Amino acid sequence: MKYRYLLHHGVFENAESAPSQVAIRYMREELTYQQLAEKSAQLANYLQKAGVGRGDRVGIYMNKNIYSAVAIYGILIAGAAYVPLDPFAPTERLSFVINDCGIKFIITNESKSEQLSEIIKQTQLSGLIGIQNNPEIKIPATSWEKIFTLPSSPPLLSLVEQDLAYILYTSGSTGTPKGIMHTHRSGLSFAEWAVQTYQVNSTDRISNHAPLHFDLSTFDFFASSIAGATTIIIPEGITKLPASMAKWIQDEKITIWYSVPFALIQMLERGNLESKDLSSLRWILFAGEPFPTKHLRTLMNKLPWVKFSNLYGPTETNVCTYYHVPLLPPDSDEPIPIGIACENIEDIVVDSNGNQLPEGEIGELLIRGGTVMKGYWGRPDLTEKGFCRRPVFGYCEDIFYRTGDLVQKLPDGNYKFLGRKDRQIKTRGYRVELDEVEAALLSHPTVHEAAAYPVPDVEGSNLIEAAVILVEGGNLSEDDLIKHLSGRLPNYAIPAKIIISDDFPRTSTGKINRRELQEIALTRNKS
């Protein structure tokens, strides 16, 4: 086994041992490992010349395309960290992220010109990469054609595995997103574990369904490049259409599929799986939220040759537990467990005072190991809250990450997931802090009070609903509020329904009774 300590090592190893093996495929375009290594090195040389150095942050803002992988590896080779920007997020939110971590350069494409001319007004960017100079955009741009004339051997740089590799921004409870920092080490610890556990090898064709700002994508790219496999990027449009998605798996002969359960449930219900030849599939991996057992059983019955695995872990820890799903009994819809701790993870369960609990008792899951993040960008306060230092072996202290998830260890050793300690929810696999939704509603001057709450839907996920009370004499419609939110929140965090009411149900202490609001919504949806 080779000793790798940087996330891009896999690409160079394969460029040497299997130069003509296809590394990345998008629609009809392909890059071999040799091409990927050379083009990434060219980008790194450009970045270095432009003044980007070790530890700097570089944004990636585009719909996924064949150069997505060049962007990721080029930034890493230059010693910088990549920051994927959600291509569909409102520009205000993106400008926040760019300013928050001090991004100077963004790798982009032509489809984002309109948004970029907005973003440039609100940030201090120095340059754009991947587009031609454009009079509308008032900062210098460098096209790929120019970059691909630069030297194709990587710049000489001394990097260590603790160097920052990427920052993923997620919903934060204070109303602004927070940046989760991962290092080469934490990314590799996960990717190498995944390669071993799922026996990823050079014959694999791995789907990339998740957007780059979603941590599932690190498996698709890094596990693949370590194993010398091919990553096949699914075109954005197809991800919305279950029948096209199933046909894409068939045509691209995908062997390992990884996504949130929602995408799989859509294909199960509307993908006409019976009419497709999906015999190439060997693993279906899912993560992000619970997969309702009845849907999972039906899917497993339709694809009996495929192995299924449930991966669990907050973005802060990569994956920390996994569960290879056995044959599910036909008569029980009991939720499947999140499984056992990954081999490179230490797991303990504690009570609300931080005391370790005996096996089988319900408590919060704490995680220690190489896959844990470095911290939140620029937020030592949040990092301190997320971590706790505990004695290990009786003679030293080490960091554990508090997942905020309540779990219970079952007699067979698997963990059962029982919910959150706080007000974070998952909707279609995306993590949303309900406090952030409420903060965004309250930022409208006419809103006096706001409550956001999850309403479970038939697909086993959540929709977000909100209720507001307006200031006296205020006049606002649901549409006005949705327009207000659409500049502040990503699309998935915008409530499906906002109710404007005169008063809320209250608890005995006068607090908004969100549970009752949720029950009212559930009753309404049933009738």
Partner 1 sequence: METKAVIHKFILDELAKGRKKNISEDEDLLGEGIIDSLGILQLVAFIEEKFNYTVPDEDVVIENFMSVNAISNYLDQKLVK
Q: How many residues bind partner 1 (CB under 8 A)?
A: 32
Judged by CB under 8 A, which stretch of 83-91, 337-345, 413-421, 499-507 contacts partner 1? 83-91
Binding residue (CB under 8 A) for partner 1 from 45, 230, 266, 318 = 266
> In the structure encoding, which two tokens stand for residue 453, read together?
């709450």
Q: How far is the CB of 459 from partner 1 (least distance, A)?
A: 10
Among 496, 483, 410, smallest CA distance to 457 is for 496
Give CA angle at 189 (379, 287), nearest 5°: 80
C-beta separation of 485 from 438 below 8 A: no
Among residues 124, 275, 279, 301, the one that binds partner 1 under rule CB under 8 A: 275
Nearer to partner 1, 37 or 66 (CB): 66
Q: Which of 84, 113, 88, 119 is nearest to 236 (CA)?
A: 88
As a whole number of angstroms, the distance between CA 231 and CA 222 comes to 9
Q: With the CA atoms of 508, 509, 510 and 511 taken in that order, what torsion angle do they form, in degrees rounded to the nearest 10?
A: -110
Distance CA 77, CA 81 (A): 9
Can you tell me the distance from the alpha carbon of 499 to that of 512, in angstroms, rounded to the nearest whole number? 14
> Whose Cβ is closer to partner 1: residue 414's or residue 525's?
525
Shortest Cβ 493–partner 1 spacing (Å): 12
Min dist. Cβ of residue 238 to partner 1 (A): 6
3-state DSSP of 355-407: CECCCCCCEEEEEEECCCCCEECCCHHHHHHHEEEEEECCCEEEEEEEEEEEE
Closest CB to partner 1 among residues 76, 265 = 265
Q: Judged by CB under 8 A, which of 51, 102, 151, 235 binds partner 1?
A: 235
| 87 part of the interface to partner 1, by CB under 8 A | yes
Taking CB under 8 A as the criterion, which residues in 88-117 touch partner 1?
88, 90, 111
Binds partner 1 by CB under 8 A, chosen from 238, 300, 382, 442 = 238
Tell whether residue 425 is a contact of partner 1 (CB under 8 A): no
Does position 241 bind partner 1 by CB under 8 A?
A: yes
Interacting residue with partner 1 among 17, 491, 501, 507 (CB under 8 A): 491
Please say which residue, 478 or 516, places its beta carbon nearer to partner 1.
478
Helix axes 91-100, 113-122, angle to 10 degrees: 50
The amino acid occupying position 411 is P
Q: Which of 224, 239, 371, 424 binds partner 1 (CB under 8 A)?
A: 239
Q: According to the binding rule CB under 8 A, does residue 277 interact with partner 1?
A: no
Residue 429 engages partner 1 in binding (rule: CB under 8 A): no
How far apart are alpha carbons 218 and 213 in whole angstroms? 9
| Coil vs helix vs strand at 440 | helix
Please identify, using beta-carbon distances, which residue of 388 and 463 lies nearer to partner 1: 463
Count of alpha carbons within 13 angstroms of residue 63, beta-carbon side: 12
Of 120-128, 241-249, 286-294, 349-357, the window that binds partner 1 (rule: CB under 8 A) is 241-249
Distant-in-sequence, close-in-space partners of 254: CB < 8 Å, separation ≥ 6: 205, 206, 207, 232, 248, 280, 281
Q: Is 482 a residue that touches partner 1 (CB under 8 A)?
A: yes
From the list 195, 263, 345, 407, which residue makes contact with partner 1 (rule: CB under 8 A)?
263
- Residue 166 has φ and ψ, to the nearest 5°, of -155, 155
Of the candidate spans 22-30, 261-269, 321-329, 341-349, the one that interacts with partner 1 by CB under 8 A turns out to be: 261-269
Nearest to 417 by CA among 380, 460, 374: 460
Options 243-251, 309-317, 344-352, 362-370: segment touching partner 1 (CB under 8 A): 243-251
Give whichever of 63 and 446 is closer to partner 1, judged by the CB atom: 63
Candidates 479, 502, 523, 526; binder of partner 1 (CB under 8 A) is 479
CB nearer to partner 1: give 271 or 460. Answer: 271
User: From the list 146, 294, 389, 483, which residue makes contact with partner 1 (rule: CB under 8 A)?
Assistant: 483
289 CB burial (10 A radius; 0-12, 13-18, 19+): buried
Q: Which residues bind partner 1 (CB under 8 A)?
A: 63, 87-88, 90, 111, 235-244, 247, 262-263, 266, 270-272, 275, 428, 479, 482-483, 486, 491-492, 494, 496
